[in-house]
Amino acid sequence: MDRRITILRHFPTLLDRWRGADAQLRELTESHRTLRLLLQFPNRSGYLLISCIDPLHIEAPITWSNAHISITVDDGDGYFVEDTLARVRIRTGGVEVREFD
């Protein structure tokens, strides 16, 4: 079984809780290349942080509202992080999703 499928099973619950939030490309680090996406609601505490580890292709605005993020496996050994309405498509080698209160 593809271990990426096992990793993905935890993401939908978290992503659904943050559906409709404001999204922002927060940071792209050079060492251990990681792109961080931050999702927040203006009148709610906490945030969701999506870390795209070893991003290979980034197509996205810097910020957008009403985020509808999905994460799927690509045909190779990575992932796609997408928000089709906002024209966001990130191809990445790995992905982590963490919720902060």
Can you tell me which residue has the tokens 């203006």?
42
Instruction: Tell me the pTM.
Output: 0.93
Predicted pLDDT at 80 = 97
Predicted pLDDT at 53 = 96
Checking if the pLDDT of 56 tops 70, the result is yes
Nearest to 83 by CA among 10, 26, 4, 25: 25
3-state helix/strand/coil string of 52-86:
EEEEEEEECCCEECCCCCEEEECCCCCEEEEEHHH
Per residue in 8-27, pLDDT (tens digit) is 888 999 999 999 999 999 99
Checking if the pLDDT of 1 tops 60, the result is no
Total number of domains constituting the chain:
1
For 16, 40, 46, 60, 87, the CA distances from 43, given in Å and listed in that order, are 17, 9, 10, 25, 25
Checking if the pLDDT of 3 tops 80, the result is no
Residue type at 36 in one-letter notation = R
Q: In which band, very low, low, confident or very high, does the pLDDT at 52 lie, cut at 50, 70 and 90?
A: very high
Distance between CA atoms of 37 and 28, rounded to whole angstroms?
9
Average pLDDT over residues 25-44: 94
Predicted pLDDT at 14 = 93
Q: Domain containing 57: what range?
A: 3-100
Per residue in 63-99, pLDDT (tens digit) is 999 999 999 998 888 999 999 999 999 999 999 999 9
